[in-house]
Amino acid sequence: MKYVSEYRDAELVKGVLDEIHRTVTQPWVVMEICGGQTHSIVRYGIDQLLPSEIELVHGPGCPVCVTPLELIDKGIAIASRPKVIFTSYGDMLRVPGSERDLFSVRATGGDVRVVYSPLDAVKLAQQNPDREVVFFAIGFETTAPPNAMSVSQAQALGLDNFSVLVSHVRVPPAIYAILGSPHNRVQGFLAAGHVCAVMGYWEYPPIAEAYDVPIVVTGFEPLDIVRGVLHVVRMLESGEAAAENAYTRAATFEGNKPAQALIERIFETCDRKWRGIGVIPQSGWKLRPEFAAFDAEGRFDVADIQAEESPLCIAGLILQGLKKPHDCEAFAKQCTPEQPLGATMVSSEGACAAYYRYGRFATE
């Protein structure tokens, strides 16, 4: 496939890895923000091909993982109502809520459907005027433009039976939270390439400067990832701290302006609770008041639902780069992709799921 296979070229990857080996002189801790990158790194064994001085820690960029438990419980409560068609990206269905998951709602007669695009949910609302169609609008800056468009379209089409359960999160506040933590070990970041394709990376130079950390916009194929690591390591070794772009074919400094404009029209920033981490100020988006009619929380009166986490799961520490999946006592024992205790084991972008799938059962 064009623009995929070239970036999996083993010879080129090896060449860049060799350059990283030559460049590095001392230990560095580098975090990849995005769960998609974690998956790629573990799948191709990139972490094991890097010099032993470079430790890659896995960041919080797994939307399914950080969606708070009470929001999943709210989704389950809404999906259990008669007349509701509850729609979601596929990954969310197996995420355990306090008592059950969305799959079990479906098993007991609830109408829960996986959609590929939020516009499919809008279409369902058009086709089923006597039903309430709810879309579980989660994700980072990458799903915000599609989710915003679903609300804009529902309004344009005059649909009064469509609503969204919103739990949007943003990357830059999470980077601030990680760097501001007294436990922080991260010295450089691979920024999430597709988040930057949407938002640009103009928010990153001030972070790089304030915290003296290199931040490199990085893609998802093996060659993209080693290139990102090379950029970070070069800066670390030379004492530089800037925001650079190593994913120029997809991301620009300004990002996607039409997408940003629609996000701005539909959403406003808010404090947001991240599963396993806690509340990060100004780290989320919620619907603007003028779109309250499309807010499923208000429409179904579930705003007050609260929830408690499993005490065994250390997903929060993993999402902050403080622990690795195999540091968890429950990993691959009480917690497996079939019986997940926490969301990092559910999502294909979760670090625990990647470690389990590719057989990383012990500390090397």
Partner 1 sequence: MCLGVPGKVKETYEANGLKMGKVDFGGVTREVCLEYVPETEVGQYVIVHVGFAISQMSEEEAEETLDLLRQIIDIEEEVGPEGGVA
Of the pair 199, 332, the CB lying nearest partner 1 is at 199
Q: Measured in Å, how far apart are the chain's first and last C-alpha atoms?
A: 34
Please tell me whether residue 26 adopts helix, strand or coil conformation. Answer: coil
Is the CB of 140 or the CB of 285 nearer to partner 1? 140
In degrees rounded to 5, what are phi and psi of residue 95? -70, 125
Sequence-ordered alpha helix ranges (H) in the chain = 10-23, 35-43, 46-49, 63-66, 69-79, 102-107, 118-127, 144-156, 171-180, 193-199, 204-211, 222-238, 257-266, 296-299, 315-319, 351-357
Listing DSSP states for 109-152 in one string gives T-EEEE-SSHHHHHHHHHH-TTSEEEEEEEESTTTHHHHHHHHH
Nearer residue to partner 1 within complex by CB, 25 or 117? 117
| β-strands 267-274, 278-287 pairing | antiparallel
Min dist CB 200 to partner 1, Å, is 11
Q: Minimum CB separation from partner 1 for residue 178, in Å? A: 18
Smallest distance, partner 1 to C-beta of residue 134, A: 17
Shortest Å, Cβ 106 to partner 1: 20
Q: Taking the complex as a whole, how short is the minimal distance between the CB of residue 185 and partner 1, in angstroms?
A: 24
Contact call for residues 190 and 31 (beta carbons, < 8 A): yes
Tell me the closest approach of the beta carbon of residue 347 to partner 1, in angstroms. Answer: 8
Nearer to partner 1, 36 or 284 (CB): 36
Residue numbers of the site for partner 1 (CB under 8 A)?
Answer: 1-4, 6, 11-12, 15-16, 18-19, 22, 34-36, 39, 61, 63-64, 89, 91, 116-120, 139-140, 142-143, 145-146, 149, 153, 156-157, 192, 194-195, 197-198, 220, 223, 227, 248-251, 256, 258-259, 262, 347, 349
Tokens 């306090």 sit on residue: 98
Question: Which residues 6+ apart lie within 8 Å of 299 measured at CB?
Answer: 132, 163, 293
Report d(CA 26, CA 68) in Å as an integer. Answer: 38
For partner 1, the closer of residues 191 and 328 by Cβ is 191
Place of tokens 């191709």: 44
Are residues 247 and 193 in contact, defined by beta-carbon separation less than 8 angstroms? yes
Residue number, 19 or 53, with CB nearest to partner 1: 19
Residue 36 — φ and ψ, nearest 5°? -65, -35
State in angstroms the smallest separation of the CB of 244 from partner 1: 13
In the three-class reduction of DSSP (H, G, I as helix; E, B as strand; rest coil), residue 28 is classed as strand
Of 28 and 89, nearer to partner 1 (C-beta) is 89
Please state the closest distance from residue 51 (CB atom) to partner 1, in A.
14
* Closer residue to partner 1, CB minimum distance, 328 or 351: 351
Strand pairing category for 215-218 and 243-245: parallel
